[in-house]
């Protein structure tokens, strides 16, 4: 079928082909079918979307990934990518071969899979898991697509947390400390997947996090470090597409998690990595045994890739820090670096301990406490912010959360027996984080604290009244901070 092209912008990154219903009927094309498009300069494929209004009869509408296609084109039906069969195989809980995983990765990279097929892949991995061999093949395939960073120094430090702990904004503090100690740490981070703020979301409060390879190299040459969004430099780009599919489902399956983290580390040129694996009730990993198993998987796959990984299995049942959400977590970061009374002690201690572990892993003897308390880490952080186009002298007081707020208060006196990470993350997301950077919440008590009736448990911040009311309603149903009488608390501990 011969058709004229028209560019269409409907806010999608998928290569959609919009066909008028009459043209689709003549071609025999149904929604989500694939079509082959031939034009003067080449051939490509797209995914069908039928419409009666967006394009005229005789015209094919092409979304942004296909905007390079111009002029008259020949449109014919095309078969499904071979990786669809592999995805179906994984849905049946069969183990995939290396070549099958490579085809899936390649088809994701080349936008050959529809959103439904990509979601099916993510769901299959979530439901049936990946073997260690599958994870290794997947990580290798993902890391070999996209750009690669290389560094002259033999030791390139890195750190990653698997997430699941509210307010765990340790990374910016660690990068400042490690860089101040003289170790190269070009940190590429993700945006939030299931949390209210990823490291990139928090750093975006201070400065630009999207930089080219040349800009990153310049920033690192100037400051010994950077804190940028990995998706902005095409490092393991397939990972970003998979995360896009995971987001609506709020899932992060373990095998895919290992492949996601280590493919990014390999692409970033990291040689020595500390991976934070928090465990506990409400965290992504709830038992110590599961945390140790995941840590072993990280080490085994990393060994195959030639990356020296050390895993820190940490307490993850309670929040780290007080703020949950980009601006509120950014305030906690500055409070620790500036040595303020408002600094959450749990965040300060974890930042110190993980920095000591990473520096020791890199073979560097440094006084982490002195780097933090002397202000050298703060100075280095401000240098990084300036190099990334931010305002270096921003202070704790400058970072204001959303004005719409309400306090969730205790309805009884007693002892805080649990601070639920998962519920707090759900609340912050319902309030608008991370898309609304100033939305989120502040946690007031810690587990074990004594509480009186009416004491604030957490304060929710939102950009709009509607979102604030939604979050407050959810708080009533979830009981994010559990208070029990002293007698009941003793029984619960037993």
Q: Catalytic positions, please?
A: 252
Q: Tell the residue number behind the tokens 């750093």, with chain if given.
A: 203
Contact present, 316 and 341 (Cβ < 8 Å): no
Asked whether the beta carbons of 64 and 12 are under 8 A apart, the reply is yes
Cα 243 from chain centre: 7
CA distance 271 to 251: 28
Tokens (6 digits) for 7: 């560019």
Inter-CA distances, 76 with 54, 72, 108, 264, 282, Å: 20, 13, 22, 37, 51
What is 421-440 written as a DSSP string?
A: HHHHHHHHHHHTTTTSTT-E
Residue 490 φ/ψ, nearest 5 degrees:
-65, -40
Taking the C-alpha atoms of residue 261 and residue 253, their distance in angstroms, rounded to an integer, is: 12
Six token digits for residue 50: 């039928």
Asked if 331 and 323 count as a contact pair (C-beta separation under 8 A), the reply is yes
Task: Determine the Cα–Cα distance for residues 324 and 67; give it in Å rounded to an integer.
Answer: 39
User: In this structure, are residues 336 and 321 in contact, taking their beta carbons and an 8 Å threshold?
Assistant: no
Do 445 and 457 touch, CB atoms closer than 8 A? yes
Residue that has been written with the tokens 């970072």 in this structure:
399
Block residue for tokens 């007081």: 397
Given the structure tokens 């308390």, which residue do they identify?
Answer: 373
């Amino acid at each position: 079928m011969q058709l004229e092209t028209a560019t269409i912008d409907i806010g999608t990154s998928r290569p959609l082909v919009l066909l008028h219903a009459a043209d689709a009927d003549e071609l025999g094309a149904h929604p989500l079918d694939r079509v082959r498009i031939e034009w003067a300069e080449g051939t490509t494929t797209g995914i069908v979307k039928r419409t009666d209004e967006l394009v005229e009869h005789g015209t094919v509408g092409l979304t942004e990934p296909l905007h390079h296609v111009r002029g008259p084109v020949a449109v014919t039906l095309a078969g499904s990518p071979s990786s669809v069969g592999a995805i179906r195989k994984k849905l049946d809980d069969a183990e995939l071969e290396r070549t099958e995983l490579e085809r899936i990765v390649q088809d994701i990279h080349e936008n050959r899979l529809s959103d439904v097929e990509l979601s099916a892949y993510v769901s299959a991995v979530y439901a049936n898991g990946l073997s260690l061999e599958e994870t290794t093949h997947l990580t290798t395939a993902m890391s070999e697509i996209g750009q690669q960073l290389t560094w002259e120094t033999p030791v390139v430090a890195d750190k990653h947390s698997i997430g699941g702990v509210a307010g765990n904004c340790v990374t910016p503090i660690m990068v400042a400390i490690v860089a101040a100690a003289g170790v190269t740490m070009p940190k590429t981070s993700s945006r939030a997947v299931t949390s209210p703020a990823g490291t990139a979301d928090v750093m975006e409060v201070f400065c630009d996090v999207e930089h080219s390879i040349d800009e990153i190299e310049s920033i690192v040459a100037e400051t010994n470090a950077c804190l940028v969004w990995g998706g902005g430099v095409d490092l393991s780009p397939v990972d970003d597409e998979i995360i896009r599919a995971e987001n609506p489902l709020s899932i992060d399956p373990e095998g895919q998690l290992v492949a996601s983290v280590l493919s990014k580390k390999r692409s970033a040129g990291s040689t020595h990595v500390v991976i934070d694996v928090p465990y506990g009730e409400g965290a992504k990993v709830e038992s110590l045994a599961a945390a140790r198993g995941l840590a072993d998987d990280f080490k085994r796959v990393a060994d195959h890739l030639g990356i020296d990984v050390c895993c820190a299995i940490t307490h993850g049942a309670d929040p780290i820090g007080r703020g949950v959400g980009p601006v509120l977590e950014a305030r906690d970061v500055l409070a620790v670096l500036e040595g303020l009374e408002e600094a959450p002690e749990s965040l300060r201690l974890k930042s110190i301990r993980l920095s000591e572990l990473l520096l020791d892993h890199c073979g560097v003897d440094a006084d982490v406490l002195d780097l933090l308390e002397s202000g050298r880490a703060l100075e280095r952080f401000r240098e990084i912010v300036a190099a990334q186009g931010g305002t270096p002298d921003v202070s704790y007081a400058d970072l204001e959360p959303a004005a719409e707020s309400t306090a969730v208060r205790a309805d009884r006196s007693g002892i805080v027996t649990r601070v639920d990470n998962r519920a707090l993350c759900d609340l912050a997301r319902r309030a608008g984080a991370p898309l609304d950077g100033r939305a989120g919440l502040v946690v007031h008590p810690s587990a074990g604290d004594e509480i009186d009736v009416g004491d604030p448990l957490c304060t929710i911040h939102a950009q709009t009244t509607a979102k604030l009311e939604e979050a407050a309603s959810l708080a009533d149903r979830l009981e994010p901070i559990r208070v029990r009488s002293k007698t009941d608390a003793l029984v619960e501990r037993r």
